[in-house]
Structure 1
């Protein structure tokens, strides 16, 4: 089961991407605006064979979830440790300079991965409050960040080591990685003769 927290562009793209690579049978959508959550659930239902429904809150969305995509502009955490099932994977991409998406207990317990330690741990406002706040408060140290994406892909750092381990991917966005991914997509499209060439400007 996939919990989608948030109702914007990132919520849509994460739901679609996760369903392409994981056998998701159910999606629950939660957001600050119930009407937007219902609209997103309806939109996703048209593309997804399993059950999709909007729920009343983040705790309900996360109850029993195997995967959670947090895509909010939250000030107070929308991912809280008591709401999580053992073994859940959380992808957190939201940002608000005044707050955070993930609570201290989840960060402290989770196997934490990032695109780049340097980017995620950069001083406010560039880095991730989800990591910087518990470091500031002495709950974790910078060494709590287990791996960067590149280390996981290369196999130089292990991923999950137990089925009930909570994993957290905290994204802050790294432009160089975005550009590299885009180049791979464009190359694959050209190789398959799909897509449409457009001129910008």
Structure 2
């Protein structure tokens, strides 16, 4: 499968092991690294999910935190929909791999990708505001790829009967989802969130 080329000039910070890609992203931004910036780890010791829950992050999945600059208007209502829109963008980027898989991929509001009752991925989002205007969008993506996992989790490898994108392909899927969300942002005021 041919990946869609990325359009943003990403600064990529790769670490084999970290406590949390979210913490590393914050540190990079505080040190002055300009976005678009992505921190990706092979493994995380303390991956962070929704409401601060710990996310299993062994080698074989995609553990990604990213920030993109934002200059467009963003209403508080649209900001609240970011997790769901990010989940939808990730599902769309996975579609070339998962279109014929069963059961189908669904979104559990507000931010989880589910295969039946089993969790495949989770996303986080936040907005940095300055003077009432959005300046930075941040995203976290945890995507189970090819690694041992206990129910109720599921990996792409389990769901796709042994097939799974390579790590570099998972990274392109994650960054592609962020770019897809940014491209579709112009329609947010006229199109309802799925």
Q: Structures share a fold, TM > 0.5? A: no
Q: Considering only CA atoms, is the larger Rg found in Structure 1 or Structure 2?
A: 1
Could you tell me the TM-score, scaled by structure 2's length?
Answer: 0.28
- Higher share of residues assigned strand: 2
